[in-house]
Amino acid sequence: MDTTNNAKQQPCDCQPKPAPEYPNQVTGMRVLARALKEIGIDTMYGLVGIPVTEFAYIAQGEGMKFVSFRHEQQAGMAAATHGYLTHTPGVLLTVSSLGFLNGLTATINATVNCYPMIQISGSSEREPIDLDQGTYEGLDQLNVAKGLVKAAYRVNRPEDIPIAVARAYRAAMDGRPGGVYLDVPTPCLGAVIDADVMEKALFKMVDPIPAMIPSPESVDRALALLASAKKPCILLGKGAAYAQIDDKIKQLVEKTGIPFYPMSMAKGLMPDNHPQSAISCRSEIIEQADVVMLVGARLNWLLSRGHGKWNPNGKFIQLEIDPMEIDCNRPIAAPVVGDLESSIDAILAKLPNYKMQMDPTWLPTLQEITKKKNAGLAAKLAPQTVPMDHWSALSACKKVIEANPDIILVNEGANTLDDTRDAIDMSLPRHRIDCATWAIMGMGMGSAIGAAVSTGSRVVAIEGDSAFGFSGMDFSTICRFKLPVTVVIFNNGGIYNGIGKPLDNTTDPAPTTLDINARYDKLGDAFGAKTYYVTTPAQLEQALTEAVASREPALIDVQLANDAGKESGHIGYLNPAALVDITV
């Protein structure tokens, strides 16, 4: 991808376009900026170059915030996080070909995770693309995107842009949220139309996110099943957090008195230390619950698809917006298809008609187990081991983050992900963002930026050293935009750990080995951040306390032992190679 405005690299077979006689004439770029504003988009994330550079300036001129990145994938991760946290589509802007492809990975990730976002990409003129003749940054982008994202559109005429943007908005938001691609070829961006044609084409959407009301029968069926359960559980997913109906979820949990189990990003929707929290009782829920109510959560691989150790006689209620999700892994006895707000409203309204028959020993049993598990966790966190391992480092992070519950925690890595999720309690909704359903690495800096920009909150990103490598350069974006983000890098010198052994036939580093002596703090120095290099839990606690209090960009290099960590965290079974000899 080339982001220079070098005329030599432009195709020269197009005629120079007449300059628009602004304000009576406008370009497609102006229409696009106005159309986005009209639907309430006030922020874009992206990386400019031919053919979208001028568009970014025009959008800024129209009062939009443009957050310029170093890599499109991270800009896309930011847009997706923005969408998840604000319940409006995050917008990513990319250039043609490689920029588009780099960004597309994030748009696909958003689709997998049900985050609403729109990737807008400039693309080359159609004629040489359709004849496969080759052109500057030529790629048939629309056809590449189709099938990988929730919806993909191309707009060819400036006067169609308001409709295209509305279609993209509805596709991103309505039903199951996801990533949408909007292709805008260069000729459309540069085409000139009369300003009054633009004004006529612009419109306000009526009912942009319509309610989807569940059928009354489905609500009664679900309540009857829930009421009959002896060992029920409410399983909260990130769809429940995304819906921003926190008080209604709280009422559902507290009025039924049923224990709840949050998926990773639903942590904090109800406080992890709530008396009904069964967060430490995953295996007991799976093995014993007779009725599980899935609320904005999929019975997907993260839950063994409802198979494996799940109670074979257990039944499921599923509150879900997408009817095709129902029965996709295990039969669902009571589907409630609707948007969560409407579904929970309907359930709460009818709840007084049903008497819960929960076994009175079920919750106390889970509370006992929780106490034991908490004691086990405290024992893991207690030894202030030096050189640090994940647990001693997390003992310091836990103190600071739990004392500052407004902080949004971004988290990726292998052991760094698993152990942080277990160690740090969340007490507020939508304050934990991680690799989620696709389990990908390389969302850290982008998600931290999207979280900080879209909420104004302080953010701490706890990153494995390998995970940080995927997005590290966009730490400079945190610095340029002076965001209140602290990046904490757990350096154990490698993927899983730093003690991978090279095979006998090579002097190259082992595939899992990175650099235990790397001084990531010096990367922060390059961009003017506050930086720290820490080797003990006490130093880490002090550095993190100071960094988050400053509300300035900060980077903490946390020196772990190179043998801290093990392969694949809690999901080692996914990697059979860990169990057999590696031979060449």
Is the CB of 150 or the CB of 390 nearer to Mg ion?
390
Name the minimum Å distance from CB 302 to ligand ADP: 6
Q: How far is the CB of 209 from ligand ADP (least distance, A)?
A: 9
Q: What is the CA radius of gyration of the chain?
A: 25
Query: CB of residue 383 vs Mg ion: minimum separation in angstroms?
Result: 20
The CA distance from 193 to 64, in Å, is: 22
- In the bound complex, what is the minimum distance in angstroms from residue 238's beta carbon to ligand ADP? 4
Residue nearest to ligand ADP (CB): 239
Which residues have a Cβ under 8 Å from the Cβ of 207 and sit 6 or more positions away?
none
Cα distances from 526 to residues 74, 466, 516, in angstroms, run: 20, 20, 20
Nearer to ligand ADP, 437 or 497 (CB): 437
**The entry of Mg ion, ligand ADP, none that residue 229 binds, CB within 5 to 8 Å by partner kind:** none
Minimum Å gap between C-beta 557 and Mg ion is: 12
Of 297 and 414, the one with the shorter C-beta distance to ligand ADP is: 297
Cβ proximity to Mg ion: between 277 and 492 the closer is: 492
Token representation of residue 403 = 């004392």
In angstroms, give the least distance from the CB of 539 to ligand ADP. 35
Site for Mg ion, residues 420 to 479, rule: CB under 5 A: 464-466
Which one, 173 or 554, has the nearer CB to ligand ADP? 173
User: Whose structure tokens read 């169609």?
Assistant: 160
Q: How many residues bind Mg ion (CB under 5 A)?
A: 4
Q: Is 181 left (phi over 0), alpha (psi -120 to 50) or beta?
A: beta
| Phi/psi of residue 337, nearest 5 degrees | -95, 120
Per-residue CA distances from 66 to 59, 80, 172, 353, 472 (Å): 8, 15, 20, 51, 20
Complex with ligand ADP: residue 22 or 301, whichever CB lies closer:
301
Q: In angstroms, rounded to a whole number, what is the distance separating the alpha carbons of residues 509 and 232?
A: 50
The one of ligand ADP, Mg ion, none whose footprint includes residue 465, by CB under 5 to 8 A per kind, is: Mg ion
Residues 492-521 that bind Mg ion (CB under 5 A): 492
Closer residue to ligand ADP in complex, CB, 56/299: 299
Kindly tell me which of 116 and 464 has the beta carbon lying closer to Mg ion.
Answer: 464
Binding site for ligand ADP (CB under 6 A): 113-114, 176-177, 237-239, 242-243, 263, 265-266, 296-298, 300, 302, 320-322, 325, 339-340, 437
Backbone angles phi, psi at 449, to 5 degrees: -70, -45
Tell me which of ligand ADP, Mg ion, none is bound by residue 464, counting a contact when its beta carbon lies within the kind-specific cut-off of 5 to 8 angstroms. Answer: Mg ion
Q: Least CB distance from residue 582 to Mg ion, whole Å?
A: 19
- How far is the CA of 332 from the CAs of 218, 306, 329, 372, 577, in angstroms? 12, 10, 9, 33, 35
**Nearest residue (CB) to Mg ion, 88 versus 492:** 492
Handedness of CA 444, 446, 449, 451 (dihedral sign): negative
Cβ atoms of 444 and 410 within 8 Å: the answer is: yes
Residue 265's binding partner among Mg ion, ligand ADP, none (Cβ under 5 to 8 angstroms by kind) is: ligand ADP
Picking from 550, 549, 544, 517, the residue whose alpha carbon sits closest to that of residue 532 is 544
Residue 264, CA atoms < 13 Å, CB-side half-sphere: 21
The region of 64-72, 111-119, 442-450, 487-495 touching Mg ion under the rule CB under 5 A is 487-495
CA–CA separation, 24 vs 35, rounded Å? 17
Nearest-approach distance from CB 288 to ligand ADP, in angstroms: 20
Q: How far is the CB of 262 from ligand ADP (least distance, A)?
A: 8
- Distant-in-sequence, close-in-space partners of 200: CB < 8 Å, separation ≥ 6: none
Question: Is residue 74 near Mg ion by the rule CB under 5 A?
Answer: no
Residue numbers at the binding site for Mg ion (CB under 5 A): 464-466, 492
